[in-house]
A and B are shown apart, each in its own frame.
Chain A
Amino acid sequence: GQNIDQPTEMTATEGAIVQINCTYQTSGFNGLFWYQQHAGEAPTFLSYNVLDGLEEKGRFSSFLSRSKGYSYLLLKELQMKDSASYLCVSGGYNKLIFGAGTRLAVHP
């Protein structure tokens, strides 16, 4: 079957670093996306990992281990505007499989 697991909620302090973990078991896996979604809004693309390793893009980094079915999203220098849900998404067979999302609350 298709399964993506990520924590439901996390909290962090402004300026800190937070890591959101994701494990997946999906068929036809091509790569792993992370999307950000503010409440009631559309998901927006953050990152895409195809190969194992770390991809860095500004304050956000994403890691993938295909052999372990594991990914994480690392957010540095947290800002209040980073309060949102972060969706771990498996891509393959021209379709996306979405995790339920991790709701991150950033506090002053």
Chain B
Amino acid sequence: DADVTQTPRNRITKTGKRIMLECSQTKGHDRMYWYRQDPGLGLRLIYYSFDVKDINKGEISDGYSVSRQAQAKFSLSLESAIPNQTALYFCATSDPGSDEQYFGPGTRLTVT
């Protein structure tokens, strides 16, 4: 079984809809991250969490919110989706003391 899983893997939604992307991990890592990837751009950090009670904004948090339900679960929400949020979204995890991150398989989101 994969260490970091994301659901759904693909989603098409309409402008204005609320959508939640979910991430679960079995690696036992405290730290979790959400990124988006757009063609021609590097992965950009949306939000990150260093433990269940810690939530931090990343580089591009506007229009997004997150919830850390447990050590193993970190959800990303788009309150009112817009077309420029069409992207590939990745969840990642890491251990304290290490910068190496482990990525989930990604969620391809299309907002029409």
**Chain A residues proximal to chain B, CB less than 8 Å:** 4, 8, 30-31, 33, 40-45, 48, 87, 91-92, 94-101
**Chain B residues proximal to chain A, CB less than 8 Å:** 31, 35, 40-45, 48, 50, 58, 88, 90, 94, 96, 99-106, 108
The answer on a CB contact under 8 Å between A31 and B108 is: no
Bound CA–CA A43/B100 (angstroms): 11
A33: which B residues are within 8 A, CB to CB? 99-100
Q: Which residue of A lies closest to B103 (CB)?
A: A42
Bound CA–CA A95/B49 (angstroms): 11
Name the one of B100, B105, B108 contacting A42, with C-beta atoms under 8 angstroms.
Answer: B105
Bound CA–CA A41/B6 (angstroms): 12
The answer on a CB contact under 8 Å between A41 and B99 is: no
The answer on a CB contact under 8 Å between A98 and B99 is: no
Bound CA–CA A42/B102 (angstroms): 9
The answer on a CB contact under 8 Å between A100 and B99 is: no
The answer on a CB contact under 8 Å between A100 and B31 is: no
Bound CA–CA A96/B44 (angstroms): 9
Q: Report if A41-B105 is in contact (Cβ < 8 Å); known contacts: A33-B100, A94-B50.
A: yes
The answer on a CB contact under 8 Å between B100 and A48 is: yes
Bound CA–CA A31/B101 (angstroms): 13
Name the one of A8, A30, A43, A45 contacting B43, with C-beta atoms under 8 angstroms.
Answer: A43
A98: which B residues are within 8 A, CB to CB? 35, 42-44
Q: Which residue of A lies closest to B41 (CB)?
A: A100
The answer on a CB contact under 8 Å between A101 and B105 is: no
B108: which A residues are within 8 A, CB to CB? 40
The answer on a CB contact under 8 Å between A101 and B45 is: no
Q: Which residue of B lies closest to A101 (CB)?
A: B42
The answer on a CB contact under 8 Å between B40 and A100 is: yes
Tell me how far the C-beta of B85 lies from the nearest C-beta in chain A, rounded to whole angstroms: 18
Tell me how far the C-beta of B38 lies from the nearest C-beta in chain A, rounded to whole angstroms: 10
Tell me how far the C-beta of B22 lies from the nearest C-beta in chain A, rounded to whole angstroms: 16
